[in-house]
């Protein structure tokens, strides 16, 4: 058997682990959920699932590996998901089950309780899931998946509350970490955000009778729903009979929205925390051009996420903007590798350089982040190979030096380039003429905080840059993770 060639660059990105979507009050709700999940596909591409409820057909579910477009667009699947109430989930594999994700790990999770069934879908990560799981198994719960999110439904099953919304509150008060949850009973659509509001969740309206919950506003746009508002950090909404009730089941806390959602995870056409993601990214480019100017002939984005920052950089610096790297829009998972010899010749499955544009030029490459740095080296090679005179990297985020424990798939700390090297060392290791990251203050300015980061009371969760974790990662600490020493 010939070996397979994985995507050269995909393992060098932080990956959002999930997107959630729910709809109530419209016929064929599952079709809306499929559309919403399709718009959220960038948040999780490994698998997806939908649960729907119909008074006559009861609860139904479908869970599939692969893209929404390939699974939840066929009548033979969608016809099994009738009803006016449905929720769904798209996911990457979590670190724990890498390469061994079974279909039983695919959410939403479903439980039959004495007062009826309920399904939940979870975006985020629970920092005390391992301890909870141990305790639940000892008390007789049988886990069906390797997913930590399954704890929530078992906690609900063991709650002595009489209604499912109350059981959800009970359960979520026991968990720690980041969670945006969408849940459903036979009559209610429910949405909850953790007290810090690390992951996004928004509310939309579909016509006169329908409502939607979505990780991002782009999920509302695709179905023509109106964006009503964000679910607040620490808020729980229960939607039933065309009415939205709001609860605050948790102790109040200062919100700490994930700043990396603005940098990379979210779609540029989404509005998060009242700000346009596209505009934040473009503004990062403007800040970068001010913080780290350089003489050059071309500002070229690393596709696709670097594009808005590159536009901002070009506008601020006056250097022409051009698409020097072309992305293959038909990219799929893997290709069989031709031969060993060819691998070393540099197969370019995903990206191709526009040689005619690059040749002889001093090129500024704008990328969103540097994780392991391996991608940056390969792109530099491609650009030099095409005849560039100079290569300057400008990175639209500060150095990523700490792992995320709130729902993002990060390499362990020792694999993060910025955890082991200074900016100059990184520049030399990548092999470019210059390398500059935006400062943390610059990033905050681009994200709307004119004064930069308030160290005493930062508006965002920026633990991946700062090591300042707003929720202690207790499972990880038990496993031996070393927090940043107090300064």
Determine if residue 368 is labeled as part of a ligand binding site.
Answer: yes
Q: What angle do CA 152, 157, 163 make, to 5 degrees?
A: 100
Locus of tokens 């160290």: 455
Strands 408-409 vs 434-437: parallel, antiparallel or unpaired: unpaired
Minimum distance from CB of 79 to its own copies (Å)? 8
Residue 304 vs 454, nearer CB to its own copies: 304
Q: Is 18 in the active site?
A: yes
**What's the min distance (Å) between Cβ of 139 and its own copies?**
8
Report yes or no: 213 and 116 within 8 Å, Cβ to Cβ.
no
Q: Which residue is catalytic, options 18, 151, 218, 300?
A: 18
CB 179 within 8 A of CB 193: yes
Question: Residue 404 annotated as binding?
Answer: yes
Is 367 part of any known ligand binding site?
Answer: yes
User: Between 164 and 417, whose beta carbon lies closer to its own copies?
Assistant: 164
Q: Given the complex with its own copies, which of 441 and 449 has the nearer CB atom?
A: 449
**Residue 444: CB minimum distance to its own copies, A:** 19
Q: Which is nearer to its own copies, 47 or 178 (CB)?
A: 47
Minimum gap (Å) between residue 22 Cβ and its own copies: 14
Look-up: residue for tokens 């945006």?
180
Closest approach of Cβ 138 to its own copies, in Å?
A: 5
Whose Cβ is closer to its own copies: residue 40's or residue 196's?
A: 40
Question: Among residues 319 and 464, whose Cβ is nearest to its own copies?
Answer: 319
Was 218 annotated as part of a binding site?
Answer: no
Query: Token pair 């990251």 is at which residue?
Result: 437
Residue whose C-alpha is closest to residue 187's, from 159, 205, 163: 163
Going by C-alpha positions, the residue among 289, 348, 297 that lies closest to residue 319 is: 297
464 is in an annotated binding site: yes
Nearer to its own copies, 332 or 480 (CB): 332
Q: Is 151 annotated as a binding residue?
A: no
CB of 472 to its own copies, least distance (A): 26
For the bound state, the minimum distance from the C-beta of residue 372 to its own copies, rounded and expressed in Å, comes to 23
Q: Which residues are annotated as a binding site for Mg(2+)?
A: 305, 367-368
Active site residues per annotation: 18
Q: Which residues are annotated as a binding site?
A: 258, 305, 367-368, 404, 461, 464
Q: Which residues are annotated as a binding site for [4Fe-4S] cluster?
A: 258, 404, 461, 464
């Amino acid at each position: 058997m010939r070996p397979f060639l994985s995507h050269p660059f995909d393992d060098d990105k932080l990956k959002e682990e999930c997107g959630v979507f729910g709809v109530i009050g419209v016929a064929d709700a599952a079709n809306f959920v499929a559309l919403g999940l399709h718009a959220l596909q960038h948040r999780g591409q490994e698998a997806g699932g939908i649960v729907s409820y119909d008074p006559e057909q009861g609860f139904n579910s479908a869970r599939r590996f692969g893209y929404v477009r390939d699974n939840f667009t066929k009548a033979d699947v969608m016809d099994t998901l009738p009803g006016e109430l449905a929720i769904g989930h798209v996911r990457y594999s979590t670190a724990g089950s890498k390469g061994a994700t079974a279909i039983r790990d695919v959410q939403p999770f479903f439980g039959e309780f004495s007062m009826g069934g309920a399904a939940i879908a979870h975006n985020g990560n629970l920092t005390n899931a391992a301890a909870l799981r141990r305790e639940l198994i000892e008390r007789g719960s049988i886990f069906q998946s390797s997913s930590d999110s399954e704890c929530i439904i078992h906690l609900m099953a063991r709650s002595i509350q009489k209604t499912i919304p109350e059981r959800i509150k009970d359960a979520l008060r026991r968990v720690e970490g980041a969670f945006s949850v969408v849940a459903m009973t036979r009559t209610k659509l429910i949405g909850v955000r953790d007290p810090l509001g690390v992951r996004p969740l928004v509310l939309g309206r579909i016509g006169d009778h329908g409502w939607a919950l979505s990780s991002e506003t782009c999920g509302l746009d695709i179905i023509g729903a109106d964006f009503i508002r964000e679910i607040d950090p620490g808020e729980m909404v229960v939607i039933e009979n065309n009415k939205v009730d709001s609860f605050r089941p948790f102790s109040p806390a200062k919100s700490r929205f994930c700043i990396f959602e603005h940098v990379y995870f979210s779609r540029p056409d989404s509005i998060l925390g009242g700000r346009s993601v596209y505009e934040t990214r473009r503004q990062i480019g403007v800040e970068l051009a001010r913080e780290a100017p350089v003489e050059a002939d071309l500002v070229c984005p690393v596709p696709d996420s670097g594009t808005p920052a590159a536009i901002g950089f070009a506008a601020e610096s006056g250097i022409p903007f051009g698409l020097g790297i072309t992305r293959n829009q038909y990219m799929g998972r893997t290709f069989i590798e031709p031969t060993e010899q060819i691998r070393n010749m540099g197969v370019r499955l995903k990206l191709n350089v526009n040689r005619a544009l690059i040749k002889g030029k001093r090129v500024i490459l704008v990328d969103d982040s540097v994780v392991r740095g391996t991608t940056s080296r390969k792109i530099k090679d491609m650009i030099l190979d095409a005849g560039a005179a100079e290569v300057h990297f400008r990175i639209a985020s500060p150095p990523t030096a700490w792992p995320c424990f709130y729902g993002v798939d990060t390499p362990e700390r020792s694999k993060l380039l910025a955890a082991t090297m200074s900016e100059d060392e990184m520049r030399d290791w990548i092999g470019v003429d210059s390398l500059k990251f935006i400062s943390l203050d610059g990033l905050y300015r681009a994200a709307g905080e004119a004064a930069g980061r308030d160290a005493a009371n930062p508006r965002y969760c920026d633990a991946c840059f700062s090591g300042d974790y707003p929720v202690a990662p207790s499972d990880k600490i038990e496993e031996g993770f070393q927090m940043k020493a107090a300064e």
